[in-house]
Amino acid sequence: MQRPNNSRPIITHTNPKSPISETFRTLRTNIDFSSVDEQIRVIMLTSAGPGEGKSTTASNLAVAYAQSDKKVLVIDADLRKPTMHHTFMKTNRWGLSNVVSGQSAPVEVIVETHVHNLFLMPSGPVPPNPSEMLASKRMTAMLEELKESFDVIIIDTPPALAVTDAQVVATKVDGVLIVIDYGKVKREAAMKVKANLQHVNARMLGVVINNVNRKNGEGYYYYYYGNDQSAK
């Protein structure tokens, strides 16, 4: 299947040997081992503000899971400024908003991506009441239904400080990942995100620090090691 050419590359798919790809595989492993008793299958990603790399992290993490022979679904639950359909070069005419409003069945809006084992549910048309839609019983029922068809479900949500959508979705998932842009998010903002999520008894898995400067050279060993192996 041909890989789409887009401005937000899914490094884990396009260059699996890069240090960044390895970082996402490490993230996948850390999530898997963050719970001993029960398997974490529905993961939500949020951040304090916009442009911190939630969608990029979500798509790359989804690919990392798909590469480990798991059937993965990415749900774009950002019903205000959806971006996932751009990442995977798909239409946004039908999606989550159609399912939650009862216009479509989940199967009708889920699309196959260019990555093997990876599927996408776009956000669909932007509704006038996103928070209410995400809080609805239909949303809960839909997630329960999708759990039967997919091994891992990754949900991309709006920033936690901007709107309540992330808090609403957090009550319906197995774990929450907070994405923090390196050197951009103030301590108070990050603490507020955590407090907001704790308020709804969300289970927080941990933090992903994004856009870290590469000056310390972490990950280069893998990069060169990987290159040596491929040369052989």
Interacting residues toward another protein by CB under 8 A: 3, 9, 11, 14-21, 23-24, 26-27, 30-31, 34, 53, 57, 177-178, 180, 182-188, 190-191, 194, 204-214, 218-219, 223
Least distance (Å) between residue 170 CB and another protein: 14
Minimum CB distance to another protein smaller for 51 or for 206: 206
Least distance (Å) between residue 222 CB and another protein: 12
Least distance (Å) between residue 69 CB and another protein: 21
**Among 41, 212, 28, CA closest to 143:** 41
Least distance (Å) between residue 154 CB and another protein: 14
Minimum CB distance to another protein smaller for 105 or for 212: 212
Q: How far apart are the first and last CA of the chain?
A: 27
Minimum CB distance to another protein smaller for 137 or for 187: 187
Q: Tell me, what amino acid is at 149?
A: S
Least distance (Å) between residue 3 CB and another protein: 8
What span, in angstroms and rounded, lies between the C-alpha atoms of 21 and 26?
A: 9
Minimum CB distance to another protein smaller for 28 or for 134: 28
What span, in angstroms and rounded, lies between the C-alpha atoms of 185 and 165?
A: 20
**Among 30, 57, 27, CA closest to 45:** 57
Element of type H or E holding 155: strand 152-156
Minimum CB distance to another protein smaller for 105 or for 191: 191
User: Rounded to 10 degrees, what is the CA torsion of 157, 6, 57, 44?
Assistant: 30
Q: Torsion-angle region of residue 61: left (phi > 0), alpha (psi -120 to 50) or beta?
A: alpha
